[in-house]
Amino acid sequence: MTSPATQGLSLYEAARVAGVTFSTEAVPEDRFVDANDMRFHYLDWGNPDKPDMLLLHGFAQQCHSWDFVALAFTDKFHVRALDLRGHGDSDWAPDGDYSPEAQQNDIKGVVQEIGLKDFVLMGLSMGGRNSFTYASNHPDEVRALVIVDAGPENLQSGSQNIRQFVQQDDELDSIDAFVDRVIAYNPRRDPVQLRGSLVHNLKQLPNGKWTWKYDSALRGSSRRMGHDPATTERLWGYLENL
Share of the chain above pLDDT 70, in %: 87
Tell me the CATH class for 12-241.
Answer: alpha beta
One DSSP character per residue, 20-53 reads ---SS---PEEEEEEETTEEEEEEE---TTSPEE
Question: What CA–CA distance (Å, rounded) separates 101 from 80?
Answer: 22
Instruction: Check residue 2 and give its pLDDT.
Output: 41
Instruction: Check residue 166 and give its pLDDT.
Output: 67
Average pLDDT over residues 123-147: 97
Give the pLDDT confidence of 67-125 residue by residue, as tens digits.
999 999 999 999 999 999 999 999 999 999 999 999 999 999 999 999 999 999 999 99
Sign of CA dihedral 108, 112, 118, 119: negative
Instruction: Check residue 167 and give its pLDDT.
Output: 63
**Residue 165 binned pLDDT confidence (cut-offs 50, 70, 90):** low
* Domain regions of the chain by residue span: 12-241
Backbone angles phi, psi at 78, to 5 degrees: -90, 95
User: Around Cβ 87, how many Cβ atoms within 10 Å?
Assistant: 29
b/e sequence 56-71, b meaning 16+ C-beta within 10 Å: bbbbbbbbbbbbbbbb
